[in-house]
């Protein structure tokens, strides 16, 4: 059995989607649902068991011998979360317990890190070294703390036989409606344009960057799911890996792709950046994908236009928007 924490979330449910497509339904999905419609992320999946996140430790004590891999996507993912005690328990301690379980049992562990660990990108976006990174928020720091702990454990020989921490860049795609403000820009652009006929984008408060030219490495969630599923069967080095496309695109590009995908005339409205994001805002991210490619992953990623078109036309514009 494969345990997927965060299984009712966007990335977790889409990893389950990918594994279902590959013929696997021996999945144990684990989560703490916070949205009344989040069950919709489960209803299209085939799986053996669903557990609340607090039930997992006890379940593992009784059923751990049947587990063949753990995919740990569950976490507090809000970049605006400031309660360090919550981040400590959910993003660090919970992850450490799963690491220790996998190390004892000798089974693979794949977990979610984040590109938020790179902060403003002063040290670049290379996954070869992480110790000098300066995250801009407590969420990013919680991911950095666990990455550093994992590397120390691995160096000491206390590690799963295969482990990978993925620094996800800006993931967008089906099954993210429950994330509220933390949902992707693509999701918010679509809803704004549908409801008001315009897309609101932040003005730039840096003189060297034009409005709308703030950029991110946007990656379609189906590509993320494909990489994670590939790691389960591949013979690859353990470690921390970037997971983006390797190409930064502007928010204006993304907004235009969303609006064009609806078949309507595009229109953008510029708004001031919220005060709580000033000083904590990444103006540019672009994953260095050398390490993943060197590990043997050769499949192409969706272009921004192709990924957005699939998301908008085959999900957001459909009566049943869930995958």
Model pTM greater than 0.85? yes
Q: Active site residue: 50, 179, 283, 322, which one?
A: 179
Question: Average pLDDT in the 193-214 region?
Answer: 92
Is a pLDDT exceeding 90 seen at residue 150?
Answer: yes
Mean pLDDT along residues 13-37: 96
pLDDT in tens, 92-122: 999 999 999 999 999 999 999 999 999 888 8
pLDDT of 265 above 70: yes
220 flagged as catalytic: no
Q: How confident is the model at residue 193 (pLDDT cuts 50, 70, 90)?
A: very high
Contact 22, 229 (CB under 8 A): yes
Closest by CA to 198, choosing from 188, 183, 211, is 188
Helix axes 138-155, 94-105, angle to 10 degrees: 20
Q: Give the pLDDT confidence score for residue 16 in this predicted structure.
A: 98
Q: What is the largest CA-CA distance in the chain?
A: 59
Measured over the CA atoms of residue 95, residue 182, residue 224 and residue 155, the dihedral's sign is negative
Residue 255 pLDDT more than 80? yes
pLDDT-derived band at 145, boundaries 50, 70, 90: very high
Candidates 111, 139, 141, 190; catalytic one: 139
Task: Give the pLDDT confidence score for residue 279 in this predicted structure.
Answer: 65
Residue-level pLDDT at 153: 98
Say if residue 277's pLDDT is above 80.
no
Per the annotation, the verdict on 143 as an active-site residue is no
pLDDT at residue 269 in the model: 97
- Provide the token pair at 80: 């605006």
Supply φ then ψ for residue 268, to 5 degrees.
-120, 135
Residue 322's pLDDT is what?
Answer: 83
Q: Which of 168, 82, 163, 164 is nearest to 125 (CA)?
A: 168
> What's CA 134's distance to the chain center, in Å?
20
> Tokens at residue 113, please?
């890190």
Q: Dihedral of CA 78/81/83/88: which sign?
A: positive
Q: Which helix (H) or strand (E) holds 58?
A: helix 56-63
> What does the DSSP assignment read for 193-233?
HHHHSSEEEEPP-STTS-TT--EE-EEEHHHHHHHHHHHHH
Name the token pair of 283. Answer: 């103006």
Residue 282 has pLDDT above 80, yes or no: no
Is the per-residue pLDDT at 280 higher than 70? no
pLDDT of residue 129: 72
Is the model's pLDDT at 80 over the cut of 70? yes
Domains, the chain, in order of start with CATH, read 2-169+219-246+286-302 (3.40.50.720), 172-215+248-284+309-316 (3.90.25.10)
Query: Does residue 159 surpass a pLDDT of 80?
Result: yes
Of residues 244 and 35, more confidently modeled: 244
């Amino acid at each position: 059995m494969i345990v997927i924490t965060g299984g009712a979330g966007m990335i977790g449910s889409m990893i389950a989607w990918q594994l279902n497509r590959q013929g696997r339904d021996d999945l144990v999905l684990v989560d703490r649902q916070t949205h009344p419609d989040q069950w919709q992320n489960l209803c299209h999946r085939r799986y053996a068991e669903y557990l609340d996140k607090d039930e997992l430790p006890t379940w593992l004590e009784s059923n751990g011998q049947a587990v063949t891999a753990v995919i740990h996507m569950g976490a507090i993912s809000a970049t605006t979360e400031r309660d360090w005690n919550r981040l400590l328990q959910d993003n660090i301690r919970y992850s450490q317990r799963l690491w220790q379980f996998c190390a004892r049992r000798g089974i693979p562990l794949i977990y979610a890190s984040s590109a938020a660990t790179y902060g403003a990108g002063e040290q670049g976006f290379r996954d070869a070294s992480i110790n000098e990174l300066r995250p801009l928020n407590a969420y990013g720091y919680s991911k950095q703390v666990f990455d550093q702990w994992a590397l120390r454990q691995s160096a000491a020989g206390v590690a799963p036989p295969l482990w990978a921490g993925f620094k996800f860049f800006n993931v967008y795609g089906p099954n993210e409606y429950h994330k509220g403000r933390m949902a992707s820009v693509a999701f918010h652009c679509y809803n704004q344009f549908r409801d008001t006929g315009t897309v609101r984008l932040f003005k730039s408060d840096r003189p060297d960057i034009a409005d709308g030219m703030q950029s991110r490495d946007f990656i379609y969630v189906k590509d993320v799911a494909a990489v994670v599923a590939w790691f389960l069967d591949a013979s690859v080095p353990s470690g921390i890996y970037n997971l983006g496309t390797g190409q930064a695109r502007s928010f204006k590009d993304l907004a235009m792709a969303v609006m064009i995908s609806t078949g309507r005339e595009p229109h953008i409205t510029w708004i001031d950046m919220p005060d709580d994001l000033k000083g904590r805002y990444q103006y540019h991210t672009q994953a260095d994908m050398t390490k993943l490619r060197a590990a043997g992953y050769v499949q192409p990623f969706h272009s921004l236009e192709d990924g957005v078109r699939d998301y908008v036309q085959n999900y957001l514009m459909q009566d049943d928007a869930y995958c």
